Structure 1
Amino acid sequence: MADLKLMALTALGLLGGCIAELLGGWDAGLQSLFLFMAIDYITGLIVAGVFKKSRKSQQGALESLAAWKGLFRKGVTLGVVLIACRLDLLLGATFIRDATIIAYCGNELLSITENIGLMGMPLPKIITQALEALRKEEEIKKGEEK
């Protein structure tokens, strides 16, 4: 049984290492992005499961489809980071991947802040105003798409 566990953990470690290498290495940017993604996902689950205030479902409650959509979105985010990393390799640069990671980190931080607000925790006024401005901008974009 110990051998099976060791083999499984070794395979998991190799897989994780290969994925990290494909994404440009396990540096501070990628670590931060993974951390922010995890915190966003967990706070989103708390908002839906405990507070029943999720904007991802009609009832505001936890729904497995909304949770899966969130995971798939995070996977697509990592796919975009992979593309940015490959573009850097083609161009002999490092700024495309870094800029992409920074942009997605900012997006995750906004989502975390929004989740914290939905939990009823007090937020500084400047953050509330920034979130409201982003929400209005998103509504304008959605209106233009229709």
Structure 2
Amino acid sequence: MEKKILLNRGIITGTLTLLIRKMEIIGPILIILLLLMSLDYISGMLAARKEGLEHPDNKKYGWNSKKGILGIYKKIGYVFTVLVAMSVDYIIYRYTQGIGLEYETKTFFGELVSVWFSLNEILSILENVGRMGVTLPDFLMNVLSELKKGINNKK
């Protein structure tokens, strides 16, 4: 069983490494996005647990496996969307070269989508931390909201 898990991890790691290398994708923003997605999921579970402890008789609060699964599906959707955006970048870059046009960047859409999702995850983490009882500075929430709006308006 352990050998199978290690084999699967190796296959996934190798495949992702090959994709990143072949498509010349900017790695740091993807790593940041994956880290933020994990932190968001964990902070959401912790916030739900805290609310469940505070309201033990109310089923509206606490851990909910349906919400957890839907959250995982949403994160998988993020990954698919980023991969599609990167594919668009790759297609545009390769085929503009083929017809003699200059397209200077290789990662515009993939990077833009990754940054947008990263900002979304940061806002969600801060909301979850707020649900855990942490007082958040208004300026931080405002700056992040404005950044997200700015990216939305550039579409």
- What band does the TM-score fall into relative to the shorter chain? 0.7 to 0.9
For the aligned residue pairs, the C-alpha RMSD in angstroms reads 2.7
Q: CA offsets per residue over residues 105-139 of structure 1, 9 Å max, x none?
A: 000000000001111111112235568x79xxxxx
Corresponding residue of 2:138:
125
Distance 2:84 2:42 in 1: 26
* Aligned 1:79-118 pairs, distance under 5 A: 79-92=80-93, 93-118=106-131
How much does 1:19 deviate? 3.9
Please tell me whether residue 37 in structure 1 is matched to residue 37 in structure 2: yes
Contact kept? 1:30, 1:101, Cα under 8 Å: yes
TM-score norm. by structure 2 comes to: 0.71
Please tell me whether residue 15 in structure 1 is matched to residue 12 in structure 2: yes
Larger radius of gyration: 2
Q: Which runs of 5+ in 1 are unaligned?
A: 135-146
Distance 2:4 2:71 in 1: 31
How much does 1:14 deviate? 1.4
Distance 2:77 2:122 in 1: 17
* Aligned 1:69-80 pairs, distance under 5 A: 69-80=70-81
TM-score norm. by structure 1 comes to: 0.75
Q: Residues 28 and 59 from structure 1, CA distance in 2 versus in 1: closer, same or farther, beyond 3 angstroms?
A: same
Distance 2:141 2:114 in 1: 24
Q: Residues 96 and 8 from structure 1, CA distance in 2 versus in 1: closer, same or farther, beyond 3 angstroms?
A: same
